[in-house]
Amino acid sequence: MPPSDAILLGLLEGLTEFLPVSSTGHLILASYVIGASGSAVKAFEVVIQSGAVLAVLGLYWSSALSMWRGALGRDPDGRRLLVNLLVSFLPAAVAGLLLHDVIKDALFGVRPVITALAAGGVVMIVVDRWRRAHPLPPGCERTLHTLTTRDALIIGVAQCLSLWPGMSRAMVTMLAGLSRGLSPVEAARYSFLLALPTLGAATALDMIVHGDALWREIGPDAVGYGLATAGLTAAVAVTFLVRYLTRHGLEVFGWYRLGLAGAVWWLAVR
């Protein structure tokens, strides 16, 4: 893979991984445009997510440290957060293992991505308008440390929808977090932290299954370019989203999804 293509895909991964617009969907569409295909390319699109994981670890090191201390029995809040993240991770992990090949063969294409982008866009617009019309009373919004195991399981089941490329892991987990009483900023924060086990496991699985093809057909230099670019741009995207959500809602991302779906359909499908 040429360095320019690796950097382009890394840039898209980092910018879109934590925004509710589907990083995988963007990567599939970009790979279609540049003519990159095959199992090694699909593995590359997953593996460069590790750059985004490193960005979250860097930005939320205090939460990661709290969970580590919780695992050692020294931080009750950290332990509760760690348990909840693992509960949220398990449904998609099981579904991903069972349906990994089916998803890659059936849903990693332009038409399925367009459908998911459009459907998710409509849902985001409707939910965000409903939330603004029915705000929670002051002081009733919950935090990560008040989520129950049941809340975490609901968010985890919702995350299974993100196995459909174009649906967006960030979108479904943030919407599920909002449904459990989290503020937009706290819902986004939980989504960021949930990326640690989710993206880490997805990367490990693809490295085991397609690692040889990845090194042989893509090359270690291209993987390095993709990882570095994804990590740097993901840090920027996370910072932007948190600042944006303190003043605005998610509706603009829904309109973006609809616009992108329409543009891709017009250019590549009709």
- Interhelix angle 39-47/23-34, rounded to 10 degrees, is 140
Percentage of residues in the chain having pLDDT higher than 90: 29
Residue type at 158?
Answer: A
Joined tokens for residue 24: 């995988």
Q: How does pLDDT run across 140-151, given as a tens digit for each residue? A: 778 888 899 999
Q: Which of 32-36, 118-122, 236-240, 260-264 has the least mean pLDDT?
A: 32-36
pLDDT at 97: 82
19, pLDDT greater than 90: no
- How much is the mean pLDDT over the chain? 86
Location of structure tokens 């992990």: 93
Location of structure tokens 């790979």: 31
Assign 270 a pLDDT band (cuts: 50, 70, 90).
low
pLDDT at 126: 93
Distance CA 98, CA 107 (A): 15
Burial of 247 (0-12, 13-18, 19+ CB in 10 A): exposed
Q: Compute how many other C-beta atoms are within 10 angstroms of the C-beta atom of residue 79.
A: 17
CB 265 within 8 A of CB 110: no
Assign 48 a pLDDT band (cuts: 50, 70, 90).
confident
Q: How does pLDDT run across 193-232, given as a tens digit for each residue? A: 998 888 888 777 777 777 777 788 888 888 888 889 999 9
Q: Which of 202-216, 227-241, 249-263 has the least mean pLDDT?
A: 202-216
Assign 162 a pLDDT band (cuts: 50, 70, 90).
confident
Q: How does pLDDT run across 95-139, given as a tens digit for each residue? A: 888 887 777 777 777 888 889 999 999 999 999 898 888 877 777
Assign 247 a pLDDT band (cuts: 50, 70, 90).
confident
Domain ranges of the chain: 3-269
Q: 102-111: long-range contacts at Cβ-Cβ below 8 A with a sequence spacing of 24 or more?
A: 103/163, 103/164, 103/165, 104/39, 104/42, 107/163, 107/164, 107/165, 108/28, 108/42, 108/165, 109/28, 110/28, 110/29, 110/32, 110/264, 110/268, 110/269, 111/269
Q: Which of 11-15, 69-73, 206-210, 213-217 has the least mean pLDDT?
A: 206-210
